[in-house]
Structure 1
Amino acid sequence: MTLTDYLVLLTYLLGIFAVGVGLSAKVKNTGDLFSAGGQSPWWASGLSAFMTMFSAGTFVVWGGIAYRLGIVAVMINLCYGVAAVLVGYFVAGHWQRIGIRTPAEFIEKRYGVGPLHFYTWSMMIYRMVGVAVALYSLSVLLVALMPLAEGNPLRDPATGNLSITWAILVFGGIVVLYTMVGGLWAVLMTDVLQFIVLNLAVLFMIPLIVADAGGISSLIDRAPPGFFNPVSGDYTWFFLAGWVAIHFFMVGAEWAFVQRFLCVPSARDAKKSAYLFGILYLVSPMLWLLPPLAYRVINPDADPEQAYVLSCQHVLPIGMLGLMIAAMFSATASMVSSQLNVFAGVLTEDIYKRVRPQSDQRHLLRVGRGMSFVLGAILIALAIAVPAMGGAEDVIVTITSLMVGPLLAPTIWGLFSRRISQTAVWCTAGVCFLAGAAVKFGWPDFFAAYGKYPDVVVGVVLPVAVLTVVQMLSKGTSPGWSRVHHTAQADQVANNASSTVATTFDPTPAFIVSGALMVCGLMMFALLFVNTQNLATIGYFASALILLSAGIGYAGHRKSRTNLSRLSTPS
């Protein structure tokens, strides 16, 4: 990396931190901190959900599969899009209509306090360890690109690069601070900025890597046999169908995604948010997996897990490598901030508030920010400790990941079925956990011969089968269904009472997006002075970004003035 690359990366880090701190003014209570006051634009919620699915593994794991096996990596990621569209049609609106503030509140009302604690602590352990591993993996990936001069206090003497510990502290610390101060508003808007940076870096890289591969026709001709087959090896059509089902449960019921459906004003907005998420995942995987696909014909002998980074180094001009590193950071930062915010919200609203019901909003706001900080500190400590875990994190993630499908399936089932009770939670978790343990630890060699089939059976088929049996054996209406239905009715009455109150259009999200695009455009214009190649491509991208920035800013300003004029006109 050059000095210009470091300056680009520093500009990005300072930018997202400034946005997070700036949005703290919108946080007046825990509703603002954990659900954006229910006033998030649907497009911001959808983009945030899209980014929450990303992590450093997107580049390492899926980039490696794309390099080794080809287009099947794109097919696997398209499954996320199919799942999100199905969630938009069947599930997203239901979360809005039941009148709850957090997904944990639904679990408590629908199934009781026992399942609430079971869900909270099991999902938190799984997610915290998983996110810590992702943060560590990101740091390992990025420090390899960041050499430092001898004598620099952040330098690792063994490698000559940025120390992994310092990378975790810096990258993790920035995410924790803006999440703690700005709450869900900061998470949503920094996710939008990260979406811009990610796609800018990828779209800029595509024409360069394709041209270096000799063009599309050359890429197709020189690719290995079967490189463009939609399925390959263990990744069969059965696996893809199961992958859609697993992620239908995940997007429809995992708390970070449910939070995106609850933070928008209406059920219609929740559905639009999920549709945007799904459509983006139906069109974008081919774009951001094209670099490792093309790099396979440029360098057939590369390490698959390094293919994405190597392709970036191969074609990106001065300054743009820093932007790509920012994009890789964005992928993990979004996942980290989302999980911190949602679990801090659960601990504050559904655990602490139960112990201290007399607490006022100012006190709960301080507690919520404190929870974000504590969880962030634990996360950073876990990430630093990953090398010392000796593989323990793999065991924890494996054990708990066996329970993700069994945990999430009863949540979605409980949205629609009035008959099942907490018995469904315990039966599904118990049966599927035992089956998963048998697959992963009891007879792993036996089940390994069947490829991905046992995972799909344990993660999808078995939970649905158990829930079907419980549904058939259950009689009458569950008390939990009645509690949720009562909450939904009360919320509907409150909404009807407030439906005549005029609301103003908040231009802040549009102005943040416009400003980010303008900064990126001006920064790319500046790169013209430090590069000697690809000047036309840089200039075109810079011009397009500035024009887009001006258009979004003008549209936001005009809509804001129109709304104010309408509100000031006597009826």
Structure 2
Amino acid sequence: MKNLPILDIAIILVYLVAMVLVGVYFSRRNKSADEFTRAAGRIPGWAIGISIYATFLSSNTFLGVPGKAFGGNWNAFAFSLSMPLAAWLATKYFVPFYRSTGEVSAYTNLEKRFGTWARTYAVVCFLLTQLARIGSIFFGISLTLQALTGYSMVMIMVVTGICIVIYTVMGGIEAVIWTEVVQGILKTLGALIIIYLVVREVPGGFKDIIDVGMAENKFSLGTLDFDFVNSSFWVVLLYGFFINLNNFGMDQNYVQRYHTASNPKEANKSVWLCVWIYVPVSLLFFVIGTCLYTYYLQNPALLDTIKLQAASEQLGLAVENSKVAELAATLKPSDYGDKIMPHFMVYMIPTGLLGLIVSAILSAAMSTISSGMNASATVFTEDIYKRYFNRESSDQNSLKVLYIATVIVGVIGMICGIAMIGIKSLLDVWWTLSGIFAGGMLGLFLLGLISKKATNSDAIIGTIVGICVILWMTFSYLIPEDMAYLRNPLHANMIIVVGTLTIFLVGNISRKLRTK
């Protein structure tokens, strides 16, 4: 490692080994599939809440949010503001529903409600969402560690991936939850340390940061006009509400945790604890972005270095090339926002603390990836293997399938991360992919839960129309210029909003027409 001092390397290695040992410790309890997926319902609500918070606060937040705030403003914070309403609906309707069914999979009920196709469709959407998320997080962590170590992004993904696979496979959901408790604390501590270190480097401290932020409109949450074409406040708020409703109500990562609690009250407590921690902590990362903007504005020579690096990577040419300098001069802050945090870490964080910060970013990645791997393996085993291949699977055989599926999901997730190398904005890519895959799943679930009289045929019609709308909104930019009027005029974050409402409304219209 060419940049990291020995002390920082030691801190990171100790952290990685500790996470693996947690998996080894909990492996003694994983004697059945129920232990692997539910921890036999013995996890306290406060630990589940911190675990859910840690899953929300991924490396996409740790790296992508400061990059967004640096390149723009606090518009993306509207996502966090949508969480309380989604959590209220989850604790009032979703948590009691899942606890009453007793099914560890979030999608088993869809088959009972609409048939096999509905369950399969939701499972495919979920698995695609998880692979996109795991891939984006692998990419985000490798982006930072490459700047620190000089190693290739592929090698970094493979090494971190192996560690995550080991403790997730060995420890099951109990290891995932308890490691996430530690990781959640570590991430929060890391954010506070970074803010302190940046403010310390700004001569006027917070006063300068506030003055620059006000002058540059950095604290804006976006226009309050009802503009659904650009990233207005309402677009991000609606996107956040539907995504968070999907997270709390349909995402196996969260639904599975409801079953690890001892009772429904503890499960509800975990949801609210997650919200009350996540909303203020997510704000810290917007503060970091604004602090970094002020610092680099006051140090233009450092900013030029980052621009040259970004231009060099875009063109695939050496930094010394004249074309790189020409491109660098035209770049806007939004074009290199994701590179700001890694650069600051390399050059401005002192030895010892750097190892702690890198461990915090690693924890942000590892918590979300391990959670996604465990949830995906559970869904594969319950909804695919035991549904289509081996209905009479013994408990020990199911446990073996869970182990194998966990490894496979981890490997495919790494491949997805490698495929993302070269993207411009980590957060934008993740938000777009999650909106595409999650929209149809949430709409179908709400149709089944709310519209009691909707039948299988209503659900099929609604889903087909919804999928067509989602595909059109996603790919209409490919329509030739002379037919531009056929393109989707709305912002990409509206895909999940429109897709969800289309399935729900069309399904209900079909029901009403059928009953006339």
* Offset of residue 32 of structure 1: 0.9
- 1:49 aligns to what? 52
Contact 1:93 1:261 in 2 (8 A): no
Question: Does 2:186 align with 1:190?
Answer: no
Count matched residues.
458
Matched-pair contact (CA < 8 Å) for 1:419–1:475: no
Provide the rounded CA distance (Å) in 1 between the counterparts of 2:98 and 2:24: 30
Determine if the alignment matches structure 1 residue 236 to structure 2 residue 229: no
Specify the code of the residue in structure 2 equivalent to 1:321. L
Partner of residue 474, structure 2: 440
- Which position in structure 2 is the counterpart of 1:227? 218
Largest Rg, 1 or 2: 1
Which secondary structure state, in structure 1, belongs to the residue aligned with residue 399 of structure 2? helix
| 1:282-340 residue CA offsets vs partner (Å, 9 max, x unmatched) | 22122233222111111136431122223434543211112211222222222211221
Higher relative contact order (CA 8 A, sep 6+): 2
Query: Does 2:118 align with 1:115?
Result: yes
Task: Give the Cα separation in 1 of the matches to 2:501 and 2:383.
Answer: 31
In 2, Cα distance between the equivalents of 1:3 and 1:307? 24
Deviation at 1:85, TM superposition (A): 4.1
**1:473 CA displacement:** 4.8
Residue identity matched to 1:229: S
**Partner residue, 1:341:** 374
- Of 436, 445, 452, the residue aligned with 1:411 is 445
Q: What is the match of residue 295 of structure 1?
A: 292
CA distance in 1, matches of 2:240, 2:420: 30
Moved more, 39-48 or 177-186: 39-48
- For the pair 1:92 / 2:95, whether they are aligned, the reply is yes
> What SS does the aligned partner of 1:348 have?
helix
What is the root-mean-square deviation of aligned Cα atoms in Å?
2.9
Distance across 1 between alignment mates of 2:444 and 2:367: 27
The alignment status of 1:167 with 2:135, answered yes or no, reads: no
Tell me if structure 2 keeps the 8 A contact 1:250–1:408: no
Write the distance in 2 (CA, Å) between the matches of 1:471 and 1:180.
45
Compared CA separation, residues 450 and 132, structure 1 to 2 (3 A): closer
The normalised TM-score by structure 1 is: 0.73
1:307 maps to 340
The answer to whether 1:258 aligns with 2:255 is: yes
- Is the Cα contact below 8 Å between 1:250 and 1:405 reproduced in 2? no
Q: 1:474 to 1:329 in 2, by over 3 A?
A: farther
- What amino acid does structure 2 have at the position aligned with 1:167? I
Q: Is the 8 A contact 2:51 2:177 kept in 1?
A: yes
For residues 174 and 221 of structure 1, do their structure 2 counterparts lie closer, same or farther at Cα, with a shift above 3 Å needed?
Answer: same
Contact 2:454 2:508 in 1 (8 A): no
How far off its partner does 1:14 sit?
0.8
Deviations 1:95-121 (A, max 9, x none): 212222221322222222222222223
The aligned residue for residue 526 of structure 1 is none
Q: In the alignment, which residue of structure 2 is the partner of 1:550?
A: none
Match of 2:350 among 317, 332, 338: 317
SS of match in other structure, 2:148: coil
Which consecutive residues of structure 1, in runs of 5 or more, have no partner in the other structure?
Answer: 147-160, 477-571
C-alpha offsets along residues 333-377 of structure 1, whole Å, 9 cap, x if unaligned? Answer: 222112211121122233323433443222222222122123223
1:285 equivalenced with 2:282 (yes/no): yes
Q: Which residue of 1 aligns with 2:27?
A: 24
- Does 15-24 or 239-248 show the bigger shift? 239-248
**Residues 264/409 of structure 1: CA separation in 2 closer, same or farther (3 Å cut):** farther
How far apart in 2 are the matches of 1:182 and 1:423? 42
Inter-partner Cα distance in structure 2 for 1:142 and 1:365 = 34
TM-score by length of 2: 0.81
Identity %: 25
Shift of 1:416: 4.0
Q: Secondary structure at the match of 2:351?
A: coil
Give the corresponding residue for 1:15.
Answer: 18
* Cα offset, 1:181, TM superposition: 1.0
CA contact (8 A) 1:42 1:269 kept: yes
Q: Counterpart of 1:212?
A: 201
1:297 & 1:427 partners in 2: Cα distance?
A: 52
Please give the per-residue CA displacement for 1:88-144, whole angstroms capped at 9, x wherever unaligned.
344223221222222132222222222222222343234224422431332122111
What are the superposed Cα offsets for residues 223-274 of structure 1, whole Å, 9 maximum, x if unpaired? 2332222225933232133123312233221221211222212221221111
**Preserved CA contact (<8 Å) 1:24 1:181:** yes
